Amino acid sequence: MTNYICFSVALGGLLFGFDTAVISGAVDLVKTQFSLNTVSEGWLVSSGLAGCILGVLATGALSDRIGRRKTILLAACAFLLSGIGCAFAGGINWLITARLVGGVGVGMASVVSPMLIAEFAPADKRGRMIAYYQLAITIGILLAYFSDALFLTLAQDGIILPAYFRNEVWRPMFLAMAFPSVLFILLLLKVPESPRWLIAINEKEKALDILRRIRSASVAAKEFSDMVEAAARNTGRRMSLFGGAFRIPLLIGILLAVFQQFSGINAIIYYGPSIFKAAGIGGSNALIFQVIIGTINVLFTIVAIKWSDKYGRKFLLTTGLCGIIFSLVFCGILFYTGHTQGVLLLVLLLLYIACFAFSLGPVTWIIINEIFPTPVRVQGVSVCTMALWMAVWVVGQFFPWLLEKAGAAVTFWIFAGFSLANFFFSWKIVKETKGKTLEEMEGVFISPH
Ligand code: BGC
């Protein structure tokens, strides 16, 4: 049952990845069709991100009130609505609004999916189970590339697709998201509510009942009594996230989130193909590069699935960061010295992606979702996830500008500099969380007040 829950909830990650990547194949088509000026194009691309911010805010407000289960169902509905809304958009404003709704789904799912997995997972498998969520994100990104390419081919061949979709092929690209969304909704219907949340709202019987369904009798009884004890300990304590007691988990969560993005991951995923092309590697087909990057990203996430509970989060973070820093510094040197015309650049960028995929990608999400105690978990996770989305925005906004003004070498070195800071932070400040229950974590992170 725990595997079923983890699999179903992780689909939120797949839709997150799909939604954020699908736009890369559709944007030029939409631009041409609606003769968009730069302002409208900016809106089309950034509406998803604006929706994310709204989605994170909504989850912070909703999830403690209506529960994790209903919140994630709302996220799934937002994905479905967005897929259908974009596909049948009557004009550009409609399309932008539908993208915004999809963004709300991404924002909500990015808070509630990994958090729900963390709350359901047994302590010794929590790392691997949250890493499945990251795996789903990477698969979602890859699927979006494939499905964009598939619809382009189908439209060119002139078969199967009805004329409405054939002539405006961005429509089925967005509609494709509706299918996993329906699957997500159907699977979620059987996912129970989080026992930790039920105990927090004093529905102990229901919580015990669910624990008995997902664990053996003895483990269920032990986990139940730990959760009740932790809840009792926290009752009456002043539980304000910004009250000072939570400054360590907040610092760790926010900085890891921002550092994840300031490693330049999305710049490399989305600009990587043009970097390869500019460097004269291979043919002119951007899809091939997207697929190479995407596949490495998927495959190396499996390392984190295997190792995060075995060797620990800190080990993955610090070793991954060594590889990331190495490849960024050397990419910078290649650009600085003008030696970009070779296979070395490709190898270095793939090394970067591989290292990100087994470290910063999954481990950031794992840690953010396990360091806050239940009464402030949603708020804590929302604040850190919000920091992550804002950092996505900052990189998206400034990367092209940096590239133009300072050049590729300096841009790579700036990403390397942030990753070096992350290395020392992860090594010296981040605490190991492997194997501890969420309740035990309180003793590690929370300053007594
Ligand atoms: C990050 C995303 C990124 C993805 C790539 C996630 O952990 O939060 O910004 O696009 O990994 O795999």
**Does residue 134's CB lie within 6 angstroms of at least one atom of ligand 1?**
yes
**Does residue 385's CB lie within 6 angstroms of at least one atom of ligand 1?**
no
**Nearest ligand 1 atom to alpha carbon 360:** 7
**Nearest ligand 1 atom to alpha carbon 297:** 12
Residue 365 Cα to ligand 1 middle (Å): 10
CB contact at 8 A, 340 and 26: no
Torsion angle, alpha carbons of 105, 106, 111, 116, to 10: 70
pLDDT of residue 283: 58
Candidate of 130, 135, 265 to mutate for ligand 1, largest count of ligand atoms within 8 Å of Cβ: 265
Block means of pLDDT (10 residues each) for the chain, 449 residues, are 92 95 88 87 88 94 91 97 95 94 96 94 93 97 92 82 84 95 96 93 92 91 90 74 85 97 93 73 71 94 95 96 98 92 88 97 96 89 96 90 90 97 96 88 68
**Does residue 308's CB lie within 6 angstroms of at least one atom of ligand 1?**
no
What is the identity of the amino acid at 406?
A
* Closest C-alpha residue for ligand 1 atom 7: 361
pLDDT of residue 236: 63
pLDDT of residue 207: 93
**Does residue 304's CB lie within 6 angstroms of at least one atom of ligand 1?**
no
State both tokens at 444: 């590690």
* Closest C-alpha residue for ligand 1 atom 1: 361
pLDDT of residue 260: 98
* Closest C-alpha residue for ligand 1 atom 8: 361
| pTM greater than the 0.85 cutoff | yes
* Closest C-alpha residue for ligand 1 atom 9: 266
CB contact at 8 A, 368 and 385: yes
Residue 419 Cα to ligand 1 middle (Å): 15
**Does residue 361's CB lie within 6 angstroms of at least one atom of ligand 1?**
yes
SS3 of the chain: CHHHHHHHHHHHHHHHHHHHHHHHHHHHHHHHHCCCCHHHHHHHHHHHHHHHHHHHHHHHHHHHHHCHHHHHHHHHHHHHHHHHHHHCCCCHHHHHHHHHHHHHHHHHHHHHHHHHHHHHCCHHHHHHHHHHHHHHHHHHHHHHHHHHHHHHHHHHHCCCCCHHHHHCCHHHHHHCCHHHHHHHHHHHCCCCCCHHHHHHCCCHHHHHHHHHHHCCHHHHHHHHHHHHHHHHHHCCCCCCCCCCCCHHHHHHHHHHHHHHHHCCHHHHHHHHHHHHHHCCCCCCCHHHHHHHHHHHHHHHHHHHHHHCCCCCHHHHHHHHHHHHHHHHHHHHHHHHHCCCCCHHHHHHHHHHHHHHHHCHHHHHHHHHHHCCCHHHHHHHHHHHHHHHHHHHHHHHHHHHHHHHHCCHHHHHHHHHHHHHHHHHHHHHCCCCCCCCCHHHHHHHHCCCC
